[in-house]
Amino acid sequence: MVDVPPDRSSLPSLSPEERRTVLYASALGTEFDFRVLREATGKPEEDLAEELERLVHQGVLRERPPPGRYRFARERVRAGLYADLTESRARVIHTNIARALERLYPRGPPPELLGEFGRHAFLAKLHEASLRYNREAGRQARRLFALEDAAHHYERARRDLQALPVPRGEEEGQLLLEMGEVYVALGEEIRADRLFVEALERTPVSARTLRAYLLLARAEVTRGAGPPERFPELCREALSLFEAEGDRPGLARAHRLLGQHASARGDHQTALAEGERAVGLLDPAKDRREYARASVDLGNALALRPSGVGTREAIVCFRRALGILEELQDFPELARACNNIGVTLGGQDPALGLSYLALAREYADRSKDRRMRGWALFNGVEFQLKLSRLPEALRDNEEARVLLEPYGDRLVQRQLDLNRGMLALRQGHFPDAERAFRDALRQAEQLGDPYGRSEAHLRIAQCLILSGRPGEARHELAQAEQIQGERWGNLGPAYHAVRSILSPADRAGTGRS
């Protein structure tokens, strides 16, 4: 209901029965249904219809289509009536409404009324019923990407669970896991991590599968913010629990997250092995969603093989994942898959890469995933520059900064610094570009990210070449090669361009020695 200041001054004189009717109506909300009001008040149908008719003539209510629907003429009047209820009276009224809804819908609430079932049961302090309805309303809202509504319902369910006389550790742990995932989607990762930590405290040691999924949730939410070694430690702890339970989808998820970690560190061989292990653990017919997600990660690992030899296989993985995810309408994972395809293809074909990144943004918008929209914009900045679209690159980078900066993690900051450097480089501001790339290098060092370090050294080398400092550029390139070897993946074209520029000087130097 809308939160507006109550108005007690414009209500006409009412009989006791009319007042009782209108108080029940105020608890139902701004708009309400005749059937529910009749069932809750227990009044004969004709008597209630006459009272509502008088209230319509008095200007308190209005009839609404379809027949049997009514609305308060002024929301402030409804708010004033409801505010005057004592806590005990309000609880009785909401109890009667909750029971009335259950009698009217004996097979359970229809989807469009699930939230109302939960609201009345919660305000009536019917803890078991409220827990059941609000938890399901939270799940329903989450499926519809109504994330604020989902968080609201989950918070109510949590309060009901805490009010029960006997603790239910495993049930509370599951609820906190789902709540935390909603807050991750809302960008409130610190809050989500607190929920995951609390869930681990509540969940009994015997609930090994749930504990394993909580550990993976913690790993994902702290990536880029916590100590670099924390992520793989949590994944391996979860892996041991899944192994004890024989949970193949759980094992696959742990392996694919370890593969992501290896890929980010430039260990492409381990990333590929973990990706293949994850896909091999899954049944494509039974574990379709997890199989598609694992295929995306395997595609990432293949795309980073030396000299682009895995690109074709990577695209096969990505497209296989897209087919499943489109059928499942898994918009968050579709956004991630399209983002990764765009990054993979954009190095060779910037326009094609940008088209997939645009799809990633579309899917991110449908799932209200601000973070993925930001990354898709960020990843397109370099491709815009390759197409000489400096205004578009500046625009996209600024929107990405606004979307991602509030998250405040080092992964975001590193990408901010890299893009800042590339934009300065294109504008001919070489000292600014070098400073930005060195900032990105520091972020990568703090993250323990070899791939990020090698990219920063490579970008610094590009900057130094354009600044007329080839000797320093060769030093930066050597630093990058020492870290990365020949495993350049998506950076291959940039690496080979820098190397080709510097190699004649290298040969000349060799001839003089």
- Residue 361 gets the label, from left (phi > 0), alpha (psi -120 to 50) or beta, of alpha
* Domain 416-513 CATH assignment equals 1.10.1740.10: no
Verify cis geometry, omega within 30 degrees of 0, for the bond prior to 66.
yes
- For every residue of 386-425, DSSP letters joined together read HTT-HHHHHHHHHHHHHHHGGG--HHHHHHHHHHHHHHHH
pLDDT at 475: 93
DSSP 88-140: HHHHHHHHHHHHHHHHH-TT---GGGHHHHHHHHHHTT-HHHHHHHHHHHHHH
Amino acid at the residue 38: R
pLDDT grade for 500, boundaries at 50, 70 and 90:
confident
Spatial contact of 486 and 307, defined as CB atoms under 8 Å apart: yes
pLDDT in the model for residue 7:
54
Query: Which of 272, 278, 322 lies closest to 300, judged by CA?
Result: 272
- The pLDDT confidence band at residue 224, using thresholds 50, 70 and 90, is low
Q: Is the distance from CB of 228 to CB of 447 less than 8 angstroms? A: yes
Tokens found for residue 464: 């130094």
Q: Which DSSP category does 32 fall into?
A: E
- Euclidean distance between the first and final Cα of the chain, in Å? 82
- Main-chain dihedrals φ then ψ at residue 209, nearest 5 degrees: -65, -45
Positive or negative torsion for Cα 392, 398, 403, 408: positive
pLDDT of residue 504: 59
The pLDDT tens digits for 335-392 are 999 998 898 888 889 999 999 999 999 999 999 899 899 999 999 999 999 999 999 9
What the block records as the tokens of 72 is 């308060």
440, 452 in Cβ contact below 8 A? Answer: yes
Reported in sequence order, the residue ranges of 248-303 that DSSP labels E, i.e. its strands, are none
pLDDT, mean of residues 403-421: 84
How many percent of the chain have pLDDT more than 70?
A: 93
Break the chain into its structural domains and give their ranges: 16-107, 416-513
Task: Please work out, in degrees rounded to the nearest 5, the angle formed at the alpha carbon of residue 373 by the alpha carbons of 371 and 378.
Answer: 95
Q: Residue 114 half-sphere exposure, CB side, CA atoms within 13 Å?
A: 17
Span 377-408, pLDDT tens digits: 999 999 999 999 999 999 999 999 999 888 76
Residue 508 in this model has a pLDDT that exceeds 50:
no
Mean pLDDT (whole number) for 156-166? 96
Q: What is the pLDDT of residues 246-279, one digit of tens each?
A: 999 999 999 999 998 888 777 888 999 999 999 9
**Mean predicted lDDT score pLDDT of the chain:** 90
Spatial contact of 436 and 447, defined as CB atoms under 8 Å apart? no
Confidence label for 512 from pLDDT (cuts 50, 70 and 90)? very low
CATH for 16-107 is: 1.10.10.10
Residue 102, both tokens: 């259950």
Residue 279 corresponds to which tokens in the numbers above?
Answer: 């896909």
User: pLDDT for 265-317, tens place per residue?
Assistant: 778 889 999 999 999 999 999 999 999 999 999 998 888 776 667 788 988 99
Distance CA 219, CA 240 (A): 15
Select from 325, 339, 418, 348 the least CA-distant residue to 374: 339
User: Which pTM does this prediction carry?
Assistant: 0.82
